[in-house]
Structure 1
Amino acid sequence: MSGGPAGLDIDHMEPLAEAWDSVASKWTDERSERYANDLDAHRSLVAVSSGPNPSKGDQDPAEWKPPAKCASCTYATDWVTAKPGWKLTIDHAEGKALAKLATSCTEATVKFTRDGARGAVRCEGGDGRANPAG
């Protein structure tokens, strides 16, 4: 969805084409549709400013990072928490980029459970450091 209220877009944390490359190409049409419209997962669909969203397109973290440095930890945390519930895979370049992003995310947490994953990060100030969500 594009051009929503106040310049917001709705973004798939894991773009549909990236999910397709990951494992979704093997899904039924019904499962693909459920993924595309997933309102139950904590961070599958996110509201983002319409400025940087088109530049992300269908790229993964190896190919695109948020322009605001302080958003990098939130992006990385949301990316990895969106994967388990759909059993999406991480390729080598993607994993390497996420590991590099994670080195600066000392306050980010990701908890994996049988029902999926949840991440917690709050971005404050302009210093690029993540602070724990409260």
Structure 2
Amino acid sequence: MKLLLRRDQKSGMLGKVIFTVSVRAELSDEEKTNIKKYKMGDILLYERSKIVDPGSGLVGLASRLAFKMINLTISVNDLEHGKQVECKDILEMLAVEEQIKEAAQNFRNVLSAATTFGGEEILEIN
């Protein structure tokens, strides 16, 4: 598995800069097969959430919409098909990148383990 990260920026409202990270994994045919075989597509690899009290009425509706915008999840399917993450500043972008890298490494370990079912692994212990 190869993890492809692309940084970019765009102008937001009132001239504010929005930083983006696009992430996608290049998977081998064997990895894609194991993802389907073990139904891993919905596994959550990354989640960023901020707790917001949505309230009620029109204010609650607006709060719930904003809540969806500040919460982010990245699943195995997202990695396979690609996903773009918007960040408010460079520090947040770097933090998101690090967490995605860590989650992708953990997932790589899961994929590696999936290839050993029905076989054996030999480890040399010193």
TM-score norm. by structure 2 comes to: 0.30
More strand by proportion, 1 or 2?
2
Higher-RCO chain (CA-CA 8 Å, sequence separation at least 6): 2
TM-score by length of 1: 0.29
Larger Rg: 2
Larger helix proportion of the pair? 2
